[in-house]
Structure 1
Amino acid sequence: MGTKVQRVGIENGRAAFAFQEVKQAKEGLKENFENYRSYVKKMPSLIQVNGLGQALAFCFQKKGREYRSIYRSIAKWMKEQFPGQFGKEDMELVEVVVNLSSADYRLWTMETLALLDWMRKFADGMVKDDAEAAK
């Protein structure tokens, strides 16, 4: 029973974090929020096809603010969840990911996909809110 309560707490924390990140992205990106939403929706496929490391490297190298915003959100969440993995010098997310063990890599992939699922839901909701407000 304790495990189930803990899982709900983790999921709620992830949802609250995702909501705040998407809300900040919407405020910061304004007219580019639709692109952000599209990219958030594409990220799980990128991860599943290419792997977490490749997908994060793709986001890291992109010049657009939308992908960089997604990357920063994932990095921020992972630093909260796994602070010991980032070392004393506050390593870059992609640097940490490419040095993970296979077991940790799978765990981080699942955690990132779970976060992106919440981000997608909130981004969809915020776009729909805008569409309804425009009517």
Structure 2
Amino acid sequence: MKKTVQRVGIENGRAAFAFQEVKRAKEQLRENFETYRSYVKKMPSLIQVNGLGQTLAFYFQKKKQNEYKVIYHTLAQWMKEQFPDQFSSGNEELVEVVVHLSSAEYRLWTMEAVALLDWMRKFADGMAKDDGGTAE
């Protein structure tokens, strides 16, 4: 059952989506939430250094580890909502779509991914603090 979130403006929509996904990740991953938080925090730097395509390919490769899988799935879900025309059959992998983007689209998707990850990082830090974690 999919919950729909009332979205007001792009930042609020992004923030609401990120909050729900991080909350779900915390419930799902439990004791591995700190690892998830660490991977969320590192991903923007990986994108900046290696590019969105390379970073997504790395997370796709590591999907057997739940923390990577959850982050990859969150980004895929967000991008499908933001750019539904790019997912013609709806079954494409995020990384598959990204490698076929034009340069302008690639830059737009990169900015969108980093903006979402920024919200995810903030919420992951806040939820870690709730557990007495060491949020930086």
| Both structures adopt the same fold (TM-score exceeding 0.5) | yes
1:88 is displaced (CA, Å) by: 1.9
Structure 2 Cα separation of the partners of residues 35 and 90 of structure 1: 28
CA displacement 1:19-71 (0-9 Å, x = unmatched): 00000000000000000000000000110000000000000010210011000
TM-score (normalised: structure 2): 0.89
Q: 4+ runs of 1 displaced by more than 6 Å? A: none
Letter in 2 for 1:55: T
Structure 2 Cα separation of the partners of residues 22 and 124 of structure 1: 10
Q: Which runs of 5+ in 1 are unaligned?
A: 1-7
1:89 is displaced (CA, Å) by: 4.7
* Residue 50 (1) aligns with residue 50 (2): yes
Structure 2 Cα separation of the partners of residues 91 and 39 of structure 1: 24
Structure 2 Cα separation of the partners of residues 88 and 123 of structure 1: 32
Letter in 2 for 1:122: F
Question: Between the two proteins, what is the percent identity of the paired residues?
Answer: 78
2:18 is matched with which residue? 18
Letter in 2 for 1:61: Q
Query: Aligned ranges for residues 123-134 of structure 1 at < 5 Å?
Result: 123-131=124-132
* Residue 34 (1) aligns with residue 34 (2): yes
Letter in 2 for 1:16: A
Higher helix share: 1
Letter in 2 for 1:67: Y
